[in-house]
Amino acid sequence: MVSVSTDAAMRRAIELAARGLGSTSPNPVVGCVLLDVNGELVGEGFHAYAGGPHAEMVALAQAGERARGGTAVVTLEPCDHTGRTGPCTGALIQAGVARVVIGVPDPNLVASGGAATLRAAGVEVEIGVRAAEVEAGNIAWLTAVRRGRPYVIWKFASTIDGRSAAADGTSMWITSEAARMDVHALRGTVDAVLVGIGTVLADDPRLTARNLRDGSLAIRQPLRVVVDSEGRTPADARVRDGAARTWVVTTAEVGATKEDRVDLDALMTGLYQRGVRAALLEGGPTLAGAFLAAGLVDKVVGYVAPKLLGAGPAALADAGPRTISEVIDLEFVDITQVGPDLRITALPRKREG
């Protein structure tokens, strides 16, 4: 028999958790590995969809009696409440698990408290194993729950000189099919896709997640959100078809700013209430600028084509800075070639307050 260290088991649990990206919201992605008394892997699982069995329950079902006296290695603190499923703490205790190793605590006040319950039942609990990696794999949900608003990813596509379209307004296609397929995969991991009315009127996008090769739709579709202050979205716009749910957000519904634009803070609250934990901001430059100016962008994903235009709309409009000292600093976390294009992933640096 080959024993597995808890560190290696947590690595495996993180891999398992990632399989639930895009299908568990408003629940988190969670992975669990069960080791028996000899350290042998006897069960594993992940949370696949909201309302379905939690990772711990799947792993316990695989392990059976071999879980008794063993160790459960789980990315997120086991839940301690009854929702659509029962509490995982009770199941772990009943199964006779002797030790639970946790990546990060659960910030959800409704479900938290699992570690204390386990300890009270005599179970040894360790928290913080590979915490940084667990955080990274579940960053959208963890951040959203801690703040009470969605985690926002701003995605843009541009030429190498920062143009999102030519001078005559044409933009199909700046980036390659490989990059566009990558974007559809990204859409499949979020709960909502946001655009402004300008993008709807100019491009009439569908905003669905699909296979570009055959046009087939992904099984799970994000909520399509149009930020449309005055309700100008045409009745026959493709975003209003039946392929996915759509929310046309007007000032009459969520309130307005001094400039008579949709109140973005109210929009974020409305999205969170609708179960949105991760949102993809896709367009256009004006809406992106407003989100950045409001400090609502958590991650930037840019697809940059090896092309030059020299004229035409920029990928980003006014985002707040008036002088170089006010620039929005980013930290590159990944640069990958996708077809002929570059996908650049960056995080806004926290400003010194």
Catalytic residues: 56
Edge-to-edge strand list for the sheet holding 41-46 = 41-46, 31-35, 71-76, 99-104, 124-127
Residue of 36, 57, 46 lying closest to 13 (CA atoms) = 46
Cβ contact 134:7 at 8 Å: no
Distance CA 66, CA 33 (A): 13
- Residues annotated within the binding site for NADP(+) are 157, 173, 199, 229, 284-290
H or E, element range at 71: strand 71-76
Name the amino acid, one letter, at 19. R
210 CB contacts (<8 Å, ≥6 apart)?
A: 184, 216, 217, 218
Specify the residue for token string 């005599």.
122
Cβ contact 66:60 at 8 Å: no
- Residues annotated within the binding site for substrate are 171, 187, 203, 207, 210, 282
341 CB contacts (<8 Å, ≥6 apart)?
A: 175, 176, 178, 179, 303, 304, 305, 306
